[in-house]
Amino acid sequence: MAGGSDNFSLSGPKHLNSIDWNNAHHRRSVAASLVAGVYVLEADRQANRRDSQSLAPPWWEFFHFKLIRQLVDDADHCIFGAIFEYKPPKYANYRKDSTGRSPRYVIAFRGTLIKLDSFARDLELDIQIIRNGLHQTTRFGIAMKAVRDKVAEVGDSNVWLTGHSLGAAMAMLAGKTMARTGKFLEAFLFNPPFFSAPIERIKDKKVKHGLRFAGSVITAGLAIASATKGKYNNASNNGNGYEENLFSVISGWIPCLFVNQADHICSEYIGYFEHRKKMEEIGAGAIARFASQHSLGGLVMNMMGVQGVETAEPLHLLPSANLTVNLNPSKDFMGAHVLCQWWRPDLNLNCGVYKYK
């Protein structure tokens, strides 16, 4: 299960035997555990573990959730997501949620599972993220319909989205899609992919800032040049464009992003938001804001006349976010990318809220 045991009693957050929904650590841990439950659902299916042998139920039942639907990929019939309903207990020592922070429903998506029956399809989806084509996949179509249907049934304030890695990309894209219609779903995105040059891995802060500054200036310049020539179609209505008014429309959606500084798949989110903040401080905020709406790679490819990848909306372009960075040292990439890190009680976290102006 993404770097941990499938058995909840061995690797789950058993210390959370009483949930306080006003506690950010509790909300994060529960959201991550539900994603773990989706991983184990698919592992159970592949191992033919059923009924009393199934290892998945404790991952949601421990927190008083009920599985109401599995989301199944039509290509390989694997379980990639699930919808959970919160069924709070009624006993006396239950901490009542007076602020409405608890969800009614949580839609969770797992990431890539390195198991024979699902790995090929998961890898195909991973490649689609790099190509900015996740929105065109049938798996995302199934996920998006499930989100729309549930929101239509119970309202956006009653639905949470959560996912890890590939699943975080699915949840992020679903959240952005709903935000464009004015529905802002609470989202918990663990190790969401951000495919870019690994600038965040550079240790020298001056060099890192210099590269990001140059990148912003070049990106803004190319975006203006492309728009002037009519080559960069940012006014598409089919979900592929990303013009400024759309960027502003979804700026009120503030998903919770959880990244590890040693995880090169997601660590660029740190620089993406911090750089925009620094540019504001030196009076170059307009450049940073404009550049953050565009992908430098996509602009370059477009200027070269290459079609396909660059015309799609890069998933990582986010106006606003509640960014949480795990500063705990990791032995290797896998240790920095695993889902189970997010329910550890001894995390050293750096948190910041970035709002698009």
pLDDT digits 0-9 by tens, 143-161: 999 999 999 999 999 999 9
β-partners of residue 65 are 86
Q: Are 80 and 73 in contact (CB under 8 A)?
A: yes
Give residue-wise pLDDT tens across range 195-243.
Answer: 776 666 666 666 666 666 566 666 656 666 665 555 444 444 444 444 4
Q: Are 265 and 198 in contact (CB under 8 A)?
A: no
Burial class (CB in 10 A: 0-12, 13-18, 19+), 165: buried
Cα 34 to chain centroid, rounded:
14
Report how far apart, in Å, the C-alpha atoms of 334 and of each of 249, 254, 262, 279, 339 are: 36, 27, 10, 33, 10
- Characterize 90-125 residue by residue with b for buried, 16 or more Cβ atoms within 10 angstroms of its Cβ, and e for exposed: eeeeeeeeeeeebbbbbbbbbbbbeeeebeebbeeb
Which amino acid makes up residue 87? K
197: helix, strand or coil: coil
Closest C-alpha to 105, from 3, 185, 206: 185
Task: Read off φ and ψ for residue 239, nearest 5 degrees.
Answer: 95, -5
Closest C-alpha to 294, from 227, 249, 237: 227
Polymer length in residues for the chain = 357
Which amino acid makes up residue 227? A
d(CA 30, CA 17): 11
Q: Are 112 and 119 in contact (CB under 8 A)?
A: yes
pLDDT at 328: 92
Domain boundaries, the chain: 8-190, 199-324
Burial class (CB in 10 A: 0-12, 13-18, 19+), 82: buried
Report how far apart, in Å, the C-alpha atoms of 262 and of each of 114, 233, 274, 335, 350 are: 21, 35, 16, 9, 14
How many C-beta atoms lie closer than 10 Å to residue 329's C-beta? 10
Q: Which long-range contacts (CB under 8 A, 24 or more apart) does 138-142 make?
A: 138/73, 138/74, 138/75, 139/73, 139/74, 139/75, 139/80, 139/170, 140/170, 140/173, 140/174, 142/71, 142/72, 142/73, 142/74
Closest C-alpha to 324, from 275, 282, 264, 261: 261
DSSP readout, 271-317? Answer: HHHHHHHHHHHTT-HHHHHHHTTS-HHHHHHHHTT--STTTSPPTT-
β-partners of residue 70 are 82
Per-residue pLDDT in tens (0 to 9) along the chain, 357 residues:
555 689 999 999 999 988 999 999 999 999 999 999 999 999 999 999 999 999 999 999 999 999 999 999 999 999 999 999 999 877 544 454 545 689 999 999 999 999 888 999 999 999 999 888 999 999 999 999 999 999 999 999 999 999 999 999 999 999 999 999 999 999 999 999 997 766 666 666 666 666 665 666 666 566 666 655 554 444 444 444 444 567 788 999 999 999 999 999 999 999 889 877 766 766 666 665 666 666 655 555 555 555 544 445 678 889 999 999 999 988 888 899 999 999 999 999 999 999 987
Give Cβ neighbours of residue 322 (< 8 Å, ≥ 6 apart): 254, 255, 256, 257, 351, 352, 353, 354
* 349-354, strands of its sheet edge to edge: 65-72, 79-86, 105-109, 159-164, 186-190, 256-260, 321-326, 349-354
